[in-house]
Structure 1
Amino acid sequence: MIRVGMADDEPLFSAGLAMLLGAQEDIEVAWRAADGAQALRLEADEPVDVLLLDVQMPVMDGLSATRSLVESGTRARIVILTTFDTDGYVLGAIEAGACGFLLKSTPPDELVAAIRTVHRGDSVVSPGPTRRLVTALRSGAPAPGSLPPAPAHSAGDGGPGVGEPGAGGPGAGGPGAGGQGAAAELADLTEREREVLVLISTGLTNQEICDRLWLSMATVKTHVSHLLSKTGSRDRVQLVLLALRSGLVGLDELLADAV
Structure 2
Amino acid sequence: MKIFLSADIEGTAGIAHWDEADRSHPDHREFRTLMTAEVVAACEGARAAGAEEVVVKDAHDSGRNLVLDLLPDYVRIVRGWSGHPDAMMFGIAADFAAAIYVGYHSKAGTEANPLAHTTTTTVSRLLLNGEVASEFTVNALCAARYGVPSAFLAGDAGICADARAMIPGIATVATLEGAGRAANSLSPARSRALIRQGVEAALSRDLSGLVPPPAEAYEVVVEFCNPSDAYRASWYPGARSHGPRAIAFAATDFFEIQRALRFVLA
Same fold (TM over 0.5): no
Question: The TM-score by the shorter chain falls in which range?
Answer: 0.3 to 0.5
TM-score (norm 2): 0.35
Relative CO higher for 1 or 2, CA cutoff 8 Å, sep ≥ 6?
Answer: 2
More strand by share: 2
